[in-house]
Structure 1
Amino acid sequence: MAWFILIIAGLFEVAFTTCLKMSDNFKNLWWSIGFFVSITLSFLLLNKAIQTIPIGTSYAVWTGIGAVGSVIVGIALFKEPASFWRMFFIFLLIASIAGLKISTTEES
């Protein structure tokens, strides 16, 4: 269950970075509200996950999900480049996140 919570926390990290971009430097009220709601939920869920999963692993996975998700959103919504090397390193990051999941045991 802690891993599921951590994944959701990472998805809220993607949401808050997207809302941050869309808020236009906090000039757009609704995107700004979305940012603050998303960042709050992301940190609350991360806090819940680190009660069971080691903090180093949790933080690495959380930021990894946020990084990968933000790149995907950037490519899909903001027409950012999807060069070979950029995608290579994103897939390397995904492999690293999967490796952390495979090699980590939850604490009691």
Structure 2
Amino acid sequence: MEKVIAGYSVDVTEEGYLTNQAQWNKEIAWAIAKEIGINELTEGHWKVIEFLQKDFAETEKMPTIRRVKNAGGIATKELYALFPEGPILKAAKIAGLSKPVSCV
């Protein structure tokens, strides 16, 4: 389905995850973050977002929290502070990636 986010027409799932990562940009990331209750994207947020995108591009699958901690060097506690109540779900959505299979 199609949705307009930050003035851009993008393809999304019913849950609002982008289906075409090529349509993603930082303006869309800001808009999605606000939509899900994150009012500011800090340097810490961008570190997580960039790691997810890089890891996904290399492995073609969403990294787990454990992988973000071990390979990304981002503590689990920090992840939950940055993206409360479902850090990988929220971070993946903001990063323009698909919904993680491991998340309900």
Tell whether the structures are fold-level matches, with TM greater than 0.5. no
More helix by share: 1
Bigger Rg, structure 1 or 2: 1
TM-score by length of structure 2 reads: 0.34
TM-score by length of structure 1 reads: 0.33
More strand by share: 2
